[in-house]
């Protein structure tokens, strides 16, 4: 032990003779505490007395930490290529707009939701079986303001979107009610061609997100076409023969000109 310490360039405090030191090391009564010494000195501590022996330098508190890589988060495990985690409100709106006519399924979850964690592997399986469908993951804890504006108040929660139709359906389900998800997927998976631009979120939802100061999202509403003034509207008239205008006498009786009623012989 002394030779090893001497070769390492570290000094050993005096207070224990060689025999005692070797005896304690063999019996495990002395430990080497590493931490906070900065490569200068090792301190042998006497476990029998619970304190350093007289004449030795007071030991530093052991500070030994192991850097262990954190395990992958459960909501990031086994994600297929058609599954994406949303990073912001703008990313969410853009993802819906860029999907075109593809079916988009939005999965609202929370890391602390047991039902979300249990359902996650099955959702990943559905994504692998349907590569033509886009799956978007929205972390409720990171995007509470956005979820509030979208009226998401229960987890796990799902919404289906497609092209010009916009939102197709929305519901909450767990492992026990997974049939609800299967039925919606089977109903809306067949390809369709939308006759119009991709709708995405509702106009009211977009305006609500834009009004939220917690979100870095801007949106300009659609221009409103002014309605016609009803007072300026001219009612259509039917074309027909002009009738003679009656004349009123001083007595109030109506008198029609005879000349206007007589047909000329010529």
Among 116, 124, 173, 193, the active-site one is 116
11-48 pLDDT, tens digit each: 444 555 666 666 666 655 544 444 444 444 444 444 44
SS (H, E, C) 161-204: EEHHHEEEEEEECCCCCHHHHHHHHHHHCCCCCCCCCCCCCCHH
Pairing of strands 83-85, 134-139: parallel
Q: Is 193 considered catalytic here?
A: no
106-138 pLDDT, tens digit each: 999 999 999 999 999 999 999 999 999 999 999
pLDDT at site 193: 79
Contacts (Cβ under 8 Å, ≥6 apart) of 131: 80, 81, 82
pLDDT at site 242: 58
Residue 180, pLDDT > 90, answer: yes
Percent of the chain with pLDDT over 70: 57
Q: Is 116 considered catalytic here?
A: yes
The packing angle between helices 178-188 and 114-129, to 10°, is: 30
The band of 195, judged by pLDDT with boundaries at 50, 70 and 90, is confident
10 Å CB burial of residue 135 (0-12, 13-18, 19+) is buried
Angle at 59 between CA 53 and CA 61, to 5 degrees: 140
Residue 5, pLDDT > 80, answer: no
pLDDT at site 88: 95
61-89 pLDDT, tens digit each: 444 444 444 578 999 988 999 999 999 99
pLDDT at site 231: 57
Among 113, 147, 173, 193, the active-site one is 113
Mean pLDDT of all residues in the chain? 75
Say whether domain 74-211 belongs to CATH 3.40.30.10: yes
Structure tokens at 14: 């005096």
pLDDT at site 87: 95
Domain boundaries, the chain: 2-46, 74-211
230-256 pLDDT, tens digit each: 555 555 555 555 555 555 554 544 454
Winning range, highest mean pLDDT, from 92-96, 226-230, 248-252: 92-96
162-178 pLDDT, tens digit each: 999 999 999 999 999 99
């Amino acid at each position: 032990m002394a030779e090893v310490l001497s070769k390492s360039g570290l000094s050993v405090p005096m207070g224990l003779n060689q025999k005692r030191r070797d005896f304690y090391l063999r019996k495990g009564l002395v430990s080497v505490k590493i931490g906070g010494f900065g490569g200068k000195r090792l301190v042998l501590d006497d476990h029998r007395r619970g304190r350093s022996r007289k004449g030795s330098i007071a030991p530093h508190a052991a500070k030994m930490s192991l850097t262990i890589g954190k395990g992958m988060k459960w909501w990031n495990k086994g994600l297929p290529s058609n599954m994406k985690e949303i990073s912001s409100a703008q990313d969410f709106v853009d993802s819906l707009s860029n999907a075109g006519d593809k079916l988009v399924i939005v999965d609202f979850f929370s890391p602390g939701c047991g039902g979300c964690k249990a359902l996650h592997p099955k959702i990943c399986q559905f994504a692998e079986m349907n590569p033509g469908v886009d799956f978007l993951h929205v972390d409720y804890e990171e995007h509470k303001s956005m979820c509030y504006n979208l009226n998401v108040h229960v987890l796990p929660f799902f919404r289906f979107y497609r092209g010009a139709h916009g939102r197709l359906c929305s519901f909450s389900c767990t492992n026990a009610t997974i049939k609800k998800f299967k039925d919606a997927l089977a109903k809306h998976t067949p390809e369709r061609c939308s006759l119009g631009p991709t709708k995405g979120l509702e106009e009211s939802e977009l305006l609500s997100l834009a009004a939220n100061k917690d979100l870095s999202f801007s949106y300009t509403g659609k221009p409103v076409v002014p309605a016609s003034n009803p007072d300026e509207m001219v009612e259509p008239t039917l074309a027909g023969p002009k009738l003679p205008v009656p004349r009123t006498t001083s007595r109030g009786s109506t008198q029609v000109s005879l000349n206007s009623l007589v047909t000329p012989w010529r």
